[in-house]
Structure 1
Amino acid sequence: MANIKSAVKRIDVNNKKRALNQSYKSDMRSQIKRVEKLVEAKDVDSAKSALQTTTKKIDKAVQKGVIHQNTGNRQKARLSKKVKELA
C-alpha cells in the first residue's frame, strides 16, 4: 500500500478509470456477440439494426481510448462483412 498522499490518490484514480474502461469494453463485446448471434440465426433486419448500435459502441470505446482506432475499424469491418454476406 502506498504511503504518500499523491500515490494513494493516483491508485484511486487508476481504479476508477479501470472500472470505466472495463464497462465500455464489456458493453462493446456484448454488442459484438449479439450481432454475431443474429448473423448465425440468419436474422437480417435485426442484425442490421444491431450492427448500428454496435458500431456506436465501438466508436465510443475508440473515442475514450479503451481500444486502438485500427482495432475498432477492423472489428466494424468484420461485422459489416458478415452482415452483408447474410443479406
Structure 2
Amino acid sequence: MPHSLSAAKRLRQTKKRTSRNRMWKGRVKELVKESKKLIALKDAKSPDTVKKALATVDRAVAKGVLHRNTGARLKSRLMKRLNSINKS
C-alpha cells in the first residue's frame, strides 16, 4: 500500500501502463501466430495477414511496448517465412 500521494499516483500509472502493454503484446503475439499458421498452410491470405502483423509490430515499437530490435527481429523472421513460400 503506497504511503504518499505520489506513490499512489505511480501505482495507478503503472497499472494503466501494464494493462496497455499487455494488450499490445497480446495483439502482436496473436497476429504473428496467425501469420505463421497461414504461411505454413500456404494460404492466399497470408501476405495480408503478415502485412497487418508488421504494422502492429511497428505500432508496438513506436509506443515503447517492444524494443526496436525485438520488433525488427519479429518482422525479419516473418518476412523470411513469407518469402520462402513465394520461392517454392
Category of TM-score, reference length = shorter chain? over 0.9
Tell me which stretches of 4 or more aligned residues in structure 1 moved more than 3 Å. Answer: none
Letter of the 1:77 counterpart: S
Alignment of 1:1-87 (within 5 A): 1-43=1-43, 45-87=44-86
Deviations 1:2-42 (A, max 9, x none): 11111011100110001001101100000000000101111
Q: SS in structure 2 opposite 1:2?
A: coil
Deviations 1:27-86 (A, max 9, x none): 00000000001011111x211000110000000000001111111011101001101111
CA distance in structure 1 between the aligned counterparts of 2:13 and 2:29, rounded to whole angstroms: 24
Q: TM-score, normalised by structure 2?
A: 0.94
CA distance in structure 1 between the aligned counterparts of 2:10 and 2:72, rounded to whole angstroms: 32
Letter of the 2:79 counterpart: S
CA distance in structure 2 between the aligned counterparts of 1:47 and 1:84, rounded to whole angstroms: 11
Q: How many residues align?
A: 86
Q: SS in structure 1 opposite 2:45?
A: helix
Q: CA RMSD in A?
A: 0.7
Gaps of at least 5 residues in structure 2 are none
